[in-house]
Amino acid sequence: MILHKGVLQAKMNVPFLDLKPGYEKLRSGIDEAMGAVFDQCNFVLGEPVRALEEQCAAYCGAKHAISVASGTDAIRIALRGCGAGKGHGVITSPLTFVATAEAVNSIGARPFFCDIDPVTANLSPAAVLDFLENQCMRDNSSGFPVHKQTNIPIKGIIPVHLYGQCADMGALNRIARDWNLFVLEDAAQAFGAEYATDGKSVKTGCLGKAAAFSFYPSKNLGGAGDSGMITTDDDSVAKICRVLRVHGAPTAYDFVESGYNSRMDTLQAAVLLVKLPHIDEWLTARREKAAFYSRLFREYALKLDVPVFEASELSVPAPEQGKFLVLPSEAENCRHTFNSFNIRVQDRDGMIASLGGQGVGTNVYYPKPLHLNKVFDFLGYAAGDMPVSEKMCSVICAMPMFPEITEEQQRYVVEKVMEFLKAQ
């Protein structure tokens, strides 16, 4: 048996994320591109920024790409571009990074959370529809649904493509059309992911009225610091976003709106331009690593007699007993990009401690759903309001994942996870 004591692998360190091997391969190109920025000293919104916008638009298939200073800014600026503002409501998932709802809050709008789908962990179209039908009413004068309890008009939906997998955009877009809502993709974790509608594969960035991307270093396409991008096919949305990112000034010193200092640094664009041509190769590697993890987990589970399921094989979000492992699954019409590879186990925190002791890095996306975070107390949610999200937060765990992770590292991770589960 391969887990017999005598043949256990020696202790290894497997970091949760290692950005160095990816950088080393491109080092000379990146150094050169950065040098060129210093040659010009065009540090903000320089020519490479314009080039990056053009190439991102082309990659996604969007008419416009507007660079900004972060993914968080991309969301809040795009929200305003889509017509959301003070006193409006925006529907989103409670299982996301805080930035999604924080962006809503920061423009004076109010987040309304709807629960997630137990298989994909993405915003559930059924929950959104239930919220609109039962907690809102159609208002024929404004054209927007109004939340009955607060009288707040709902303007849009922000689906989050969590972990690198698209939300159920077909269903969400149908609901949005029927209720006169915009759809803004939070694509921060899903640059390059695809979703098939009407038999045609569409990239993130083109699956709603607008989309927000982040180039934070750990994302699919990561820079050397903070920056982000908005994509849209809508000319007027693009125009508003371009004005808002430079202090609300369509031309220099003509301030027409209260905007932001959200310009992209030229250095970020220069680095990202070197990396962008490699994105498909990295996404393919992520998918291969994910498939390898799944295969290894299944092999070990069989040997150790630990029940293992793919998320799509379950009707419940999480295991209810100790020896049990749930693997992530790819929705049928989606090309998952595995920005993170998340398994579900009952004693998640025990497993993390055990893995940590064995040199394996992990992360939890996310330990607490947003509606139960203190910052959103004022919204009045309580534990039990979003049962699927709440359960997910207690069992989900991200394994080490990056395009350069080695087979040896993956084997070690799987071995340590399965040893822990077997001992339960």
Ligand X SMILES: *Cc1c(COP(=O)(O)O)cnc(C)c1O
Chain residues in the site for ligand X (CB under 6 A)? 70-72, 96-97, 99-100, 160, 186, 188-189, 214, 216, 226, 228
Least separation in angstroms between residue 172's CB and ligand X is: 16
Neighbours of 45 (CB within 10 A): 17
Q: How far is the CB of 228 from ligand X (least distance, A)?
A: 5
Nearer to ligand X, 145 or 223 (CB): 223
Closest CB to ligand X among 59 and 216?
216
Question: Minimum distance from CB of 97 to ligand X (Å)?
Answer: 4
Residue 366 identity: Y
Strands (E), 124-166: 136-138, 145-147, 152-158
Q: What is the rounded CA–CA span in Å between residue 146 and residue 154?
A: 6
Per-residue tokens: 239: 């125009």
Contacts of 335 (CB under 8 A, 6+ apart): 166, 193, 194, 195, 201, 287
Q: Give whichever of 102 and 233 is closer to ligand X, judged by the CB atom.
A: 102
| Min CB(72)–ligand X separation in Å | 3
Is 178 in contact with 189 (CB distance < 8 Å)?
no
CB of 181 to ligand X, least distance (A): 19
Nearer to ligand X, 66 or 136 (CB): 66
Q: Judged by CB, which is closer to ligand X: 227, or 410?
A: 227
Q: How far is the CB of 232 from ligand X (least distance, A)?
A: 17
Which residue do the tokens 């591109």 mark? 33
The closest residue (CB) to ligand X is: 71
Those residues whose C-beta lies under 8 Å from the C-beta of residue 284, and which sit 6 or more positions away, are none
Looking at the Cβ atoms of 161 and 391, the one nearer to ligand X is 161
What is the signed CA dihedral for 222, 228, 234, 236, rounded to 10 degrees? -160
| Chain centre distance of CA 277 | 21
DSSP state of 246: B
